[in-house]
A and B are shown apart, each in its own frame.
Chain A
Amino acid sequence: MVDLATHIGPLRFKNPVTVASGTFGVKDEYARFVDYRKLGAVIAKTITLYPRQGNPMPRICETPAGMLNAIGLQNKGLADFVTNKIPYFQKHRIPLIVNIAGESTAEFALLARELDRHRKAITALELNLSCPNIEAGGVQAIREQKLISKTIRAVRKETPLFLFAKLSPELGDVLETAREAVRAGADGLSLINTIRGMAISIYSRRPRLAAGTGGLSGPAIRPIALRYVYEVKQALPRVPVIASGGITTGEDGVEFLIAGADLLAVGTANFVNPRASLDILEGIERYCQEQKIRSLKALRGNLVPHRRS
């Protein structure tokens, strides 16, 4: 028996496997493939204060070992989420991490205030400070660390809920941003969001995405995500990190645990294999059994340096 339980401050997860926001729907979309109660938690697709129509088509395109997306945070808004989605997770006792995005600091605060009223049904909040696909409030607007800190402080005032700040790898000095986020009141970090990329159809000479550019995800970005998780955990070992970026197999999950990740968010792999999250969980368990690792504590952050010759 392998003990996969993962403790983060006051939070108890039965295992470290969760799903990345936007890749698992907002309610029970994958319930016919996955028993949600077997996952450490579910991170729902980003909720905004008001419904969003999202971007024009085409919104996605495949690229080597991954995909670009410019969905544009299409969602039905906070009121629908509270009324129609939260009760599902509560009823089935599924640990729910709610990902929110505001177009302004005030909107972030309002979202947090409203969700705080449903605190009992919510395990944590994840602040989407890094969506590349919206004009206001996305990567472009939140380039400045000051704005990130301001947003986190505003949310912190509204709720005692555990806060993960989801940071972009494009924020310049990620270590400095991570430190700032923690100073401003974030309890944990989520690393990484997609990285902006582009593809062009050479015959029409049009960008493959109507939005021009989009967020790159999938195995193509995994080494980059791993490096960020590793560096941030080296610098801030006590700050919990949700790792995401191309995690597709159990081996990938183990790699991120060794780098120090606390939780593992399976993202684009869900689109290819709806059972990916459970397959990854089983893969981690199998690895631990084979390696005679009884508890993830023995694995997490336990990177072995090369011997100097």
Chain B
Amino acid sequence: MYDETVAVLDNRKVNAEYYKISFRSKQLSRDVQPGQFVQIKIKKGFDPFLRRPFSYYRIKDERVEILYEILGLGTSLLADLRRGDTIQVMGPLGREFSRPLGEKKRILVGGGVGVPPLVFLAQRYGCYRFFIGTKSRREVLPSSEIHKFHAQVFYSTEDGSYGKKGLVTRLLEELLDKEKGDPEDYFIQTCGPNRMMERVMEIAHHHGILGEASWDERMACGVGVCLGCMVMTHQGWTPSCTEGPVFRFDEMRVVYG
């Protein structure tokens, strides 16, 4: 793990809602895996004081790319950065998604700004089906961002402005109901809003399929010290920054419904 000051190479809007920031780091790009994250100190000084966690979107040689949405003060300041501005970046942090799945078919279910880390996973390790859900077409990534992997990609939007109208979890249900395959043949990996992932886990549980979820909680330290970003597992409250953010479905204690 490294903590270094890097210069922004590029910071631009990629669709109506999301931005992409890029910087070069030999160290941070070296061992990173899909599902891991970085902690970024966006601005020097005391306000905002804490770093912000971001999942890796993509690594191109030594170039690190991160996709984000403006959600508050930190991300809005991040969007103001220009080429040459510096940020302090610590990473790679956390536990990644499982990569080789043997004979199992990888099904990815991404929601909103949870889609990028799964794109990284699909590009590196392939996948069978990729379900992408967003509120509207405004959050759909341009095709130039979603390529270089061989999988069938299915879209749903809550307002029906792109792909199928409705929740992305409906697409997952339809596939599993239709295929009626051996649950052993599948492995589901999901990243997105916690409520979406809870529903994915419920569907997976119903079909007897295993999988992993990248759980999103507010973080302070990012290295397992503050005990702020806890996830309830069968071991009790567990820090998602060090033991996650990727947890196996059967590690987590979730009450469905």
Contact in complex: A65, B49 (CB < 8 Å):
yes
Our pick among B49, B88, B237 for the contact of A268 (Cβ within 8 Å) is B49
Question: Which residues of A from 236 to 295 have beta carbons under 8 Å from B?
Answer: 248, 268, 270-275
A61 touches B221 (CB 8 A): no
B208 in contact (CB, < 8 A): no
Our pick among B3, B46, B221 for the contact of A271 (Cβ within 8 Å) is B221
A18-67: which have CB < 8 Å to B? 22-25, 29-30, 32-33, 53-54, 57-62, 64-67
Rounded to whole Å, the gap between the CB of B80 and the closest CB of chain A is 18
Q: Which of B46-76 contact A (CB under 8 A)?
A: 46-51
Q: Does A94 lie at the interface of the complex (its beta carbon under 8 Å from any beta carbon of B)?
A: no
CB distance from B39 to the nearest CB of A (A): 9
Given A54-B237, A271-B220, A274-B3, A62 and B50 contact (CB-CB distance below 8 Å): yes
**A137 interface contact, C-beta 8 A:** no
Select which of B51, B220, B230 is within 8 A of A54 by beta carbon.
B230
B223:A274 contact, CB within 8 angstroms: yes
8 A Cβ contacts from A97-151 to B: none
Main secondary structure of the interface of A (DSSP, over half): loop
Residues of A within 8 A of B90 (CB): 274
Tell me whether B228 is interfacial, beta carbon within 8 Å: yes
Q: Is there contact, CB below 8 Å, between B224 and A25? A: yes
User: Judging by beta carbons under 8 Å apart, are B50 and A74 in contact?
Assistant: no
Binding site for A on B (CB under 8 A): 1, 3, 41, 46-51, 88, 90, 217-221, 223-230, 236-237
**New contact pairs (12) apart from A59-B230, A274-B90, A274-B221, CB-CB < 8 Å:** A53-B236, A57-B230, A59-B227, A60-B218, A61-B218, A66-B49, A69-B220, A219-B49, A270-B225, A272-B51, A273-B88, A274-B223
- List the 5 closest A-B pairs by CB distance, nearest first: A60-B228, A271-B221, A65-B46, A219-B46, A271-B220
15 pairs from A and B in contact (CB 8 Å cutoff): A23-B226, A24-B225, A29-B223, A53-B236, A57-B217, A58-B218, A60-B220, A60-B228, A61-B218, A69-B228, A71-B227, A268-B49, A270-B225, A272-B41, A274-B3
